Amino acid sequence: MSTTNYPFGRTLYRPTEYEVATTAKQAKTKHPHAVRIIDEAQELVLSGALDYDTRAGSWICTTSIALNKHVTLGPKTCTCQFFRDRLLTLNGYPFCVHKIALMLLHRVLATHLRQRISGNVKFHAEAEHARSHANELLLFTPNGNAVAVFGSRTWRVPKDLCATRWSMQGTDFKSLTDMYAFSLWLAQAHPLPQDLLMPLLSTSNDPEDIFQSMKQQGYSDHAAAMATDAMVMDERTWHETYDPRHQNASQRRAA
């Protein structure tokens, strides 16, 4: 997608310490042998080291605790030596601190994305609801392949924000460029009226616990399931979502 003439500013969303810590904790539970590198990745996210190079069209890590001062990140690659030497592999895929940092950021942002989608623009009542929560709630476009937003209540039609795709965890960004566009929007979006970030605050890693805790707080089955799904993104899904080599298999499963 194009971000030319993007109306939402040039500041990326900075996840809170709690968002990053909770997300990292889940990763560390799954990969106890990688705890130290996940800790370092957490620090990178919190320090704002991840940025997006609009000219190159890729994510970069500008300050690094590794030898490289500036690395370029794609969905399946990093330019640092650690990654090239395949010093850490998880489920057969090479990883490095920068790539893990990008995954942590992705997970936080994807959770926000799912919490903000409130309907489809083709349904009048849902569109009006989103317009009354302008710059706060998102709508799927009619074909469901993107999300759109009313920047203010006076906008007649919502503007496309970023392309989306369906992953095993639910709605996800189609590409890391779409994740960038969403991050720009989120940085200045109105906060949600109620604290929908409760699932991120959960201390349990058990999906059933998260689901039940959401239900107890009065969320619908659908909302609770979406939030629970958002908690279980793993490195395999990351590759299936963003690595073109896996997209066919991923699309078959979604079909």
Site of interaction with Zn ion (CB under 5 A): 71, 78, 80, 83, 96, 98
Radius of gyration from C-alpha coordinates of the chain: 18
Closer Cβ to Zn ion, 56 or 255, answer by number: 56
- Would you say 73 or 149 has its CB closer to Zn ion? 73
Distance of closest approach, residue 63 Cβ to Zn ion, in angstroms: 13
Q: Shortest gap between Cβ of 24 and Zn ion (angstroms)?
A: 17
Q: Return the beta strands (E) in the chain as ranges.
A: 50-53, 58-61, 71-73, 89-90, 93-94, 117-120, 138-140, 146-149, 159-167, 170-173
Name the residue nearer to Zn ion (CB basis): 80 or 210: 80
For residue 76, the minimal CB distance to Zn ion (Å) is: 12
Q: Is 43 helix (H, G, I), strand (E, B) or coil?
A: helix
CB proximity list for 255: less than 8 A, separation 6 or greater: none
CB 225 within 8 A of CB 208: no
d(CA 86, CA 74): 16
Compare residues 52 and 219 and give the one whose CB is closer to Zn ion: 52
CB of 85 to Zn ion, least distance (A): 10
Three-state SS for 162? strand
The tally of CA atoms less than 13 A away on the side-chain side of residue 62 is: 9
Which lies closer to Zn ion via its Cβ, residue 38 or residue 113?
Answer: 38
Cα angle, residue 9 at apex, residues 102 and 76 outer, rounded to 5°? 20
Question: What's the rounded Cα separation, in Å, for the pair 159 and 1?
Answer: 13
Q: Least distance to Zn ion from the beta carbon of 77, Å?
A: 9
Shortest Å, Cβ 40 to Zn ion: 11
Nearer to Zn ion, 80 or 127 (CB): 80
Cα–Cα distance measured from residue 6 to residue 27, given in angstroms and rounded to the nearest whole number: 33
The smaller minimum CB distance to Zn ion, of residues 71 and 200, is found at: 71
**Cβ of 104: how many Cβ atoms within 10 Å?**
25
Q: How far is the CB of 47 from Zn ion (least distance, A)?
A: 15
